[in-house]
Structure 1
Amino acid sequence: MSSVALLVLLVAVVGIALVALVVGLLVSGRRKPAPLPDTHSDVLTTPPADPEAPTELSAPPVTIEPEVEEPPTAPELERPEGTASRLVRLRQRLAGSQGSLGRGLLALLSRDRLDEDTWESIEDTLLTADIGVAPTQELVERLRTRLRVEGEGDPRTVLREELVALVDPDLDRRLQVSGEDGTPGVVLVVGVNGAGKTTTVGKIARILVAEERSVVLGAADTFRAAAVEQLATWGERVGVDVVRGEEGADPASVAFRAVQSGAERGVDTVLVDTAGRLQNKQGLMDELGKVKRVIEKQAPVTEVLLVLDATTGQNGLIQARVFSEAVAVTGIVLTKLDGSAKGGIVVQVQRELGVPVKLVGLGEGPDDLAPFDAGAFVDALLG
């Protein structure tokens, strides 16, 4: 073969190869890409586990402990004040509020000459102190005799002795808080609205607790929800149970259940708070008598305490008479005696009812209620 023919054959082969290459590139460019695997398929194919691969340790399950609520802490009980310190405060409070009466009388009696004008001034001073007409006349006559006729020298000593006699130290002022034959003592507390009756019940409970007596309170003032809640608060503070009823319930029924509860528990004393009565409402006074009668189906009422606001003066005496007729009052509690009250009301109310003042309220504090002591009262008057 000639060299010319060989050259032509080589060019032809190269040309064919180039054409084939171009055609192959065009075809591959038109092909569609392979579809990606469907990651949203409902069934995923999991490759078989490699038996030689190390086992992955799973974390232990976490146990969640349920929250346990701690029981509520019982309120710390208060320790009421004893009788001795109450009497000390009685002297201090009364000396501050009532001392002007004693000082005025001593100034008059210490004059060089006790003439008629002086005795009239003494009488006026006693009357303005709410001692009352009859007791005032008796006291002035006794002072005249001892200081002017008999010539006894120390006006202060004479005045103290006569005032103590006027207040009557021989009256039995003990609270009858004990029952007989295993029954509790039952103390019925009565009085008009606003005199401090419910507060007095709570304060008496504190006195009894201080004497280590067991007590149950009866919230028979069912017409005032606030009175029931107030009494419950007093009871909680010293650990005393309170028997209560629904608002508007029969007071006699609540009082009956309170005494029944006290008898079943074997407590020493049951204190029953009653609704505040208006002395001119005969129906309400009759209901108060019913409360007492119902209570006595369980146990005798050992004490009926009438709470009087010492600042009411003559109106307090009217209240005292009406209550005494309804429930046979056995003792008086004079509240607010440390304020603007006139100390002579002690003498008047005892003369009016023939029953002693047994407790006096000296302020707003929880232990500002003290047993009445004639000597301490007069000493406070005289400063």
Structure 2
Amino acid sequence: MRREHGTPRPGWEKTIEGQGLAYHRLAHPEGLSRPYWDESVHYVFSMDEVDALEEQVEELHRMCLSAAEHVVSAGRFADFAIPKWAAEEVARSWERRDPYLYGRFDLRYDGTGPAKLLEYNADTPTSLVESSVVQWYWLQDVHPGDDQWNSVHERLVDRWRELHLPPGPTHFAFTNMDETGEEAMTVAYLQETAEQAGRETCAVAMEDIGWDALNRRFVDLDERMIRSAFKLYPWEWMLADDFGRQAVRHSTWIEPLWKALLSNKALLAVLWELYPGHPNLLPAYLDGPRDLTSYIAKPLLGREGASMRVVTPGGVESTPGSYGREGYVHQGFEALPSFEGQRPVLGAWVVGDAAAGLGIRETSGLITDDTSSFVPHRIEQP
């Protein structure tokens, strides 16, 4: 694994916008000199490294499914801040094995040892368009003789064919609260993969979904019944909404309700309980840092690196935010590796149960947040 420099393609902005990354100008806070999509640098991996990472990611995925089984069997919903009224429905969703599509592991990796799990974005992961589509076309334009860890698109299409969903169109739901367009483009891309798999689809805003109390069903603006829906809208928001009690019992949602267990950072502590000392895990506890001298406190339901606190013998570093009401997990802290002063976090995609590809975000800080930039990667041919 190494970081290399290159010359951006002429007109790269229009190129990536035409490939779906229309939100790249708005994906960053104002005032940053570095663009969100940065093809002036990229990372290079060997095939052996990628093969090893694929095996580790699929093992982590299996471990997470075992952790979900443990949480349901032991009734540990309070550790995940699941409302009491929803706990039984989460259990039922798991016991039914409600269908699931994809997720993204965030990993610490420097090329010299096993990857370390930082968190699992199992409910509403983004950076999908740039991982699946945009960096693939960059590879074809700039390094056509090399490969890339990227079968995301093909696996998504195949996964849609595998899913057993109710008859009728599958709705694809985004939220009108999305100010950058990232969520709308992600949902549109996933809708396209479903259509390529032969599924009938239609788009809808979450805010436009209605509850037909007489017939006890969700409907869209045309009064069509919503039998199945992909939603880029986290379950903790749905459970807090007025229609949350109906949502857990009606319609097939992707991602399913049981993914609320895997998208919650309490998962990190449960994994450490079940697999203490595992080479792909960092120590993590729900009741405090215990004997950790360096740790990071992460809100159970935080996003974009907000409301975190890094504690080391050298001091304390915090990020602003309003998360944390539900509690925190305390995870052993190992700084992301530094490559020329930039720290990459590897976003490893899982589609169904298979490792599917890689997206890399990097930042100069200790915590990857909304100021990070996405950079492409390639696999060097021997």
Fold match, TM over 0.5?
no
Larger radius of gyration: 1
Question: What TM-score do you get using the length of structure 1 for normalisation?
Answer: 0.28
Structure with greater helix share of residues: 1
Question: What TM-score do you get using the length of structure 2 for normalisation?
Answer: 0.28
Structure with greater strand share of residues: 2
